[in-house]
Chain A
Amino acid sequence: MSQADLTMHGHSTAGAMAEPAFSVPAKKMAMWLFIIADSATFAGCLVAYGFIRNATPNWPTPFHSITNVAIMTLILLTSSLTMLIGVRAAQAGDKPKAFRWVMITAVAGVLFATLHLREWMGMISEGATLFQNPWGTPLFSSLFFSITGLHLLHVTGGVVALIAVGIRYQGGRYKADDLEITGLYWHFVDLVWMFVVPLVYLLNLSH
């Protein structure tokens, strides 16, 4: 039986295979699967942090100021909005505007990473390393640097992806859908930060 016969009888195997799950294109579905897997990674880290914090007497609360983390939160949340503006411009076919807003998002990511590193440097100068800190149990700094480091790694990867996809979109190699998929990742990084801030920073605030 030829392909034409199959199609004629309404049983095209190619058609059946091409039907995307949940009407979502394959690339976008792949990103969603990555996001589900990555949320399990972050959840694992945060739950482990919870176990250890709960089971460790005299857990340190070294943070005196939340100004830096508040600014970082503002930047990351705002970058989600700029990404949305970029994606909407791309969907409307306004390429220069889309490129501009995606690059603004990347700059916000760089700013966030810079502030993050500045905070790390401050803590390191006070004597905190991955294996010790001057405030008590060394587990505190191990978990702090691991969790915030994992998030920082995601932000850095996101910035690289934004720049690469943005440039290729501008050059005509990528489409609006590709920007939207990169945007999904960027919103996910923002979403994770909403859990990292209260658990890792705000619960360890010195009163």
Chain B
Amino acid sequence: MTTAETHKSNEMGKDIAVYVGMLVLAGVQFFIAYQNISVQQMFERMLIVALIEAGLALLFFMHLSENRGLRWFVLIFTVAVILGMQYGWSDSYRLTNGVPWAH
């Protein structure tokens, strides 16, 4: 086997390993859905698993692991925008706890 073929085989092996890992993580999300826990706990656990899955997809399927500069660019912009959207949660909780039907 030539060096190029070995490299190609290694790359394919890595892709399959990441794919299997993501399948397992997706399975974990389905498993969490059947746990006897509160919706908040379920949400937190599922979100953590989804973030790990997304990280794997970004780093290996979308090859961000190969470009450090682009990785930081994408991460900083995306996280900043998504964090900016979280400003309204206090109002959402006010609706749950501070309106007549809440009690």
Contacts and interface: CB of A to CB of B under 8 A. Distances in A.
Given A36-B81, A88-B12, A22 B53 contact: no
Contacts of B70: 22, 24, 32
Interface residues on B, range: 35 or more
Contact of A194 (B11, B50, B74): B50
Contacts of A78: 19
Interface string B16-38: 10010011001001101110100
Contact of A203 (B30, B42, B53): B42
B62 A47 contact: no
A187 B46 CA distance: 20
Interface string A25-68: 00000001001100110011001001110110100000000100
Contacts of B62: 184, 187-188
A101 to B, nearest CB: 12
A88 B11 contact: yes
Nearest to B57: A191
Contacts of A52: 92
Which of the four size classes fits the interface of chain A?
A: 35 or more
Interface in B51-77: 53-54, 57-58, 61-62, 67, 69-70, 73-74, 77
Contacts of B19: 77-78, 80-81
Contact of A39 (B8, B11, B82, B96): B82
Interface of B: 8, 11-12, 15-16, 19, 22-23, 26, 29-30, 32-34, 36, 39, 42-43, 46-47, 49-50, 53-54, 57-58, 61-62, 67, 69-70, 73-74, 77-78, 81-82, 85-86, 88-89, 91-93, 95-96, 101-102
6 contacts: A24-B70, A32-B74, A36-B77, A54-B89, A88-B12, A202-B42
